[in-house]
């Protein structure tokens, strides 16, 4: 079966409900047997601003946007202009809009695409309590060849809480729009309706990370609201009480990180989620976690920086602070999920690693993963569970920071008689007593480094795919477009390797050397203006191949054809 996909953008403003429309379309498509995902983009207003739901529906699981869009539905013509940079269009793309949908005099921006008018506002008026976005949903259902039955099922599920009247008027609108859609062109290459017997899920990266945390054993979370991490905290707030855990809304990020350190000191695996500004505030105490060897997990859902930056849009520019933001020599873990689904795996693994190694783990997700919703196969169960080495008996004087071969020392839990000690952010001796002696400093630094560097992380340190003398190395959300680009090349018979690094710290020199064996050209792809990932690779690894960097800041995502172009133009345009 040939891979096919359809990219659709819905834009609107002033509370037009495009996000709901997009979600309904995505989930109905999922129920009909397709895969897909939907990203969100929004203007700065809290309510009523411009918003875009950016969808891709496909015959197979996908992790990337396509090169361009097949279909745009602008509920009001004026709303498209703001997102034009994020929605590349072709001459055969189709824009459906409503000339009467917005403010008088608003018009669509200039694009190469065909435009067809659909009087969504007018049609909505013919239905009791009708809304233009539901007319749009019906029309889209028809245009992309989606059956009505799964749409009704999803409407019933999503609108259940709104009452029977709301459901009825929405359903009437969808049917009205569906009929009107019959007059519209059917998009070329209708999608293949795949096997729908699979256990299919719909979830966002933030939810996936939350689920990974809970599956990994996290039972205490403290957090302070910050876009785009808030939804992750909100999901955990609702879920933790079900599993005997709790989320505390803290007074600031300094409190969040210290509360989780306190809970973890008490034996409860603990986590916080934030974004760049919050991570910056937390760094002092992440160092405390490292020095006192109290495990914690910090998820940073990255957004454009520096400072407040662009809070609603994605970027991979917190790599530097995550790797190097702690003062002193503070070895810790930095990991990054490579897809929406992988947010689950990587978070769960991070909990396991932090607990096993008694240190801090920073997980670098980003807005594009966190706030994107994907239709995927049920993520596989992972056996990683929080696993802290706790002493069972206390013979003689307990030494919390005993020098051990692995560097990990058994950590007693308050309540254990004979295990009393004072965890300390001051340099200490093996018993935990503050010490300024050089030998204590050396041996404790060495122990804290050894436990992380000597640990056998196994195959999950990176996703390695393909073969050949050319490789693309990337991390985080840019893995999606890179992976799709390489898969397209593979279909054409061109073999290019993928190295998507999941474990960014500690570095894995032997694993990297093996991954790069035989590679002559290495393309670095990253979403940061100052090439943070490239600098990291240069400092952490010996890079023997010729290296080229394809970087740009957020918020525009990478598209597969851009990566192919970079590979094909190697040496020509530089």
Partner 1 sequence: MTNDKIALQLQPKEYKSAVKPVWCPGCGDFGVLGALTKALAGLKIQPEDAAVISGIGCSSRMPTYLSTYGFHGVHGRALAVATGLKVARPDLTVIATGGDGDGFSIGGNHFLHTCRRNPDLTYIVMDNQVYGMTKGQASPTTEPNWERAKLTPSGTGINPFQPLAIALASGANFIARCSSSDSNGTARVLMEAIRHPGFSMVQVLSPCVTFRPEQREWKRSLIPAPEDMQRTPDPAEAARLLMTDEGVYTGILYVGDRPVYQPKLKSEIDNIATLDEEFRL
Number of residues that bind partner 1 (CB under 8 A): 65
- Smallest distance from the beta carbon of 374 to partner 1, in angstroms? 10
Report the C-alpha gap between 276 and 253 in whole angstroms. 11
- Smallest distance from the beta carbon of 1 to partner 1, in angstroms? 20
Looking at the Cβ atoms of 123 and 208, the one nearer to partner 1 is: 208
Kindly state whether residue 266 participates in binding partner 1, applying the rule CB under 8 A: yes
Cα torsion through 213, 217, 220, 221, rounded to 10? -10
DSSP designation for 310: B
Looking at the Cβ atoms of 201 and 570, the one nearer to partner 1 is: 201
Taking each helix axis from N to C end, the angle separating 230-239 and 205-216, rounded to the nearest 10 degrees, works out to 40
Report the C-alpha gap between 67 and 52 in whole angstroms. 17
Among 209, 232, 263, 322, binds partner 1 (CB under 8 A): 263
Residue 368 vs residues 26, 64, 317, 393, 486: alpha-carbon distances, Å = 17, 10, 13, 47, 21
Q: What Rg value do the Cα atoms of the chain yield, rounded?
A: 25
Q: The tokens of 284 are what? A: 């002092």
> In this structure, how many other beta carbons lie within 10 angstroms of the beta carbon of residue 407?
22
Kindly state whether residue 222 participates in binding partner 1, applying the rule CB under 8 A: yes
Q: The tokens of 570 are what? A: 């190697």
- Of 269-308, which residues contact partner 1 (CB under 8 A)? 270, 284-285, 287-288, 292
Among 156, 251, 491, 542, binds partner 1 (CB under 8 A): 251
Looking at the Cβ atoms of 421 and 570, the one nearer to partner 1 is: 421
Q: What is the DSSP string of 127-148?
A: STT--HHHHHHHHHHHHTT--H
Looking at the Cβ atoms of 220 and 550, the one nearer to partner 1 is: 220
Looking at the Cβ atoms of 426 and 513, the one nearer to partner 1 is: 426
- Smallest distance from the beta carbon of 413 to partner 1, in angstroms? 7
Report the C-alpha gap between 151 and 299 in whole angstroms. 35
Among 13, 20, 21, 259, binds partner 1 (CB under 8 A): 259
The two beta strands, 496-501 and 270-274, are unpaired
Does a cis peptide bond (omega within 30 degrees of 0) precede residue 555?
Answer: yes
CA-angle at 110, arms to 108 and 114, nearest 5°:
80
Kindly state whether residue 248 participates in binding partner 1, applying the rule CB under 8 A: yes
> In this structure, how many other beta carbons lie within 10 angstroms of the beta carbon of residue 48?
11
Kindly state whether residue 563 participates in binding partner 1, applying the rule CB under 8 A: no
Return the closest-CA partner of residue 18 out of 162, 106, 187, 136. 136
Kindly state whether residue 203 participates in binding partner 1, applying the rule CB under 8 A: yes
Residue pair 336/326 in contact by the 8 Å Cβ criterion: no
Kindly state whether residue 160 participates in binding partner 1, applying the rule CB under 8 A: no
Kindly state whether residue 265 participates in binding partner 1, applying the rule CB under 8 A: yes
Find residue 153's DSSP bridge partners: none
Q: What is the DSSP string of 314-379?
A: -----HHHHHH-SSSS---EEE--SSTTHHHHHHHHHHHHHHHHTSEEEEEEEHHHHT-EEEEEPP
Among 81, 184, 187, 246, binds partner 1 (CB under 8 A): 246
Looking at the Cβ atoms of 105 and 415, the one nearer to partner 1 is: 415
Kindly state whether residue 30 participates in binding partner 1, applying the rule CB under 8 A: yes
Residue 433 vs residues 331, 350, 370, 426: alpha-carbon distances, Å = 21, 29, 42, 9
> What binding mask, one character per residue, do residues 419-438 give for partner 1 by CB under 8 A, x or -?
xxxxxxxx------xx----
- Smallest distance from the beta carbon of 573 to partner 1, in angstroms? 44
Looking at the Cβ atoms of 51 and 330, the one nearer to partner 1 is: 330
Looking at the Cβ atoms of 95 and 137, the one nearer to partner 1 is: 137
- Smallest distance from the beta carbon of 287 to partner 1, in angstroms? 8
Among 105, 396, 415, 458, binds partner 1 (CB under 8 A): 415
Q: The tokens of 505 are what? A: 């710290």
214: Cβ contacts below 8 Å, ≥ 6 apart: 236, 239, 240, 243, 245
Kindly state whether residue 147 participates in binding partner 1, applying the rule CB under 8 A: no
- Of 35-54, which residues contact partner 1 (CB under 8 A)? none
- Smallest distance from the beta carbon of 78 to partner 1, in angstroms? 34
Stretch of 5-13, 43-51, 203-211, 346-354 contacting partner 1, by CB under 8 A: 203-211
- Smallest distance from the beta carbon of 268 to partner 1, in angstroms? 4
Among 241, 306, 509, 518, binds partner 1 (CB under 8 A): 241
Looking at the Cβ atoms of 46 and 380, the one nearer to partner 1 is: 380
Kindly state whether residue 205 participates in binding partner 1, applying the rule CB under 8 A: no
> What binding mask, one character per residue, do residues 363-382 give for partner 1 by CB under 8 A, x or -?
------------x--x----
Residues that bind partner 1 (CB under 8 A): 27, 30-31, 199-203, 207, 211, 214-215, 219-220, 222, 239, 241-246, 248, 250-252, 254-268, 270, 284-285, 287-288, 292, 375, 378, 413-426, 433-434
């Amino acid at each position: 079966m040939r891979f096919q996909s359809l990219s659709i953008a819905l834009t609107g403003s002033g509370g037009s409900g495009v996000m709901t429309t997009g979600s309904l379309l995505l989930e109905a498509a999922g129920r009909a047997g397709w895969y897909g995902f939907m990203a969100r983009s929004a203007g700065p207003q809290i309510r009523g601003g411009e918003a875009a739901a950016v969808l891709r529906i496909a015959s197979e699981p996908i992790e990337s946007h396509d090169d361009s869009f097949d279909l745009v539905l602008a509920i009001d013509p004026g709303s498209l202009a703001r997102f034009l940079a994020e929605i590349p269009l072709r001459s055969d793309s189709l824009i459906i809009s409503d000339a009467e949908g917005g403010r008088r005099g608003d018009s669509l921006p200039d694009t190469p695409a065909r435009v067809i008018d659909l009087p969504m506002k007018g049609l909505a008026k013919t239905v009791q309590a009708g809304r233009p976005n539901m007319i749009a949903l019906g029309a889209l259902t028809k245009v992309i060849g989606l059956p009505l039955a799964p749409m009704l099922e999803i409407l019933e599920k999503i609108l259940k809480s709104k009452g029977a009247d709301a459901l009825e008027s929405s359903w009437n609108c969808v049917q009205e729009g569906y009929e009107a859609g019959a007059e519209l062109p059917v998009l070329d290459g209708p999608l293949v309706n795949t096997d729908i017997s699979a256990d299919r899920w719909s979830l966002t990266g933030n939810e996936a990370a939350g689920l990974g945390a809970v599956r990994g054993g996290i039972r205490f979370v403290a957090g302070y609201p910050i876009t785009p991490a808030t939804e992750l905290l909100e999901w955990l707030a609702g879920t933790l009480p079900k599993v005997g855990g709790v989320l505390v809304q803290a007074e600031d990020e300094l409190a969040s990180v210290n509360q989780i350190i306190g809970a973890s000191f008490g034996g409860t695996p603990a986590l916080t989620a934030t974004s760049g500004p919050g991570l910056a505030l937390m760094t002092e105490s992440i160092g405390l976690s490292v020095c006192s060897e109290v495990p914690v997990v910090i998820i940073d859902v990255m957004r454009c920086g520096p400072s407040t930056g662009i809070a609603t849009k994605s970027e991979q520019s917190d790599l530097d602070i995550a790797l190097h933001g702690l003062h002193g020599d503070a070895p810790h873990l930095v990991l990054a999920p490579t897809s929406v689904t992988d947010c689950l795996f990587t978070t769960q693994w991070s909990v396991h690693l932090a607990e096993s190694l008694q240190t801090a783990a920073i997980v670098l997700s980003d807005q594009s993963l966190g706030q994107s919703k994907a239709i995927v196969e049920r993520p596989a169960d992972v056996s990683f569970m929080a696993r802290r080495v706790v002493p069972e008996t206390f013979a003689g004087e307990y030494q919390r920071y005993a020098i051990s071969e692995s560097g990990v020392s058994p950590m007693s839990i308050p309540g254990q008689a004979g295990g009393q000690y004072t965890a300390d952010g001051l340099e200490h001796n093996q018993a935990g007593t503050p010490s300024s002696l050089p030998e204590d400093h050396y041996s404790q630094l060495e122990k804290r480094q050894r436990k992380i560097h000597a640990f056998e992380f196994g195959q999950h340190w990176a996703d390695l795919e393909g073969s050949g003398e050319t490789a693309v190395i990337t991390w985080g959300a840019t893995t999606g477009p890179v992976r799709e680009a390489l898969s397209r090349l593979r279909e054409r018979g061109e073999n290019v390797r993928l190295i998507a690094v999941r474990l960014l710290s500690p570095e894995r020199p032997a694993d990297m050397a093996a991954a790069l064996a035989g590679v002559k050209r290495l393309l670095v792809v990253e979403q940061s203006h100052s090439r943070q990932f490239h600098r990291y690779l240069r400092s952490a690894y010996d890079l023997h191949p010729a290296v080229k960097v394809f970087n740009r800041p957020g918020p525009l995502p990478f598209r597969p054809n851009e990566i192919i172009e970079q590979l094909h133009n190697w040496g020509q345009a530089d």
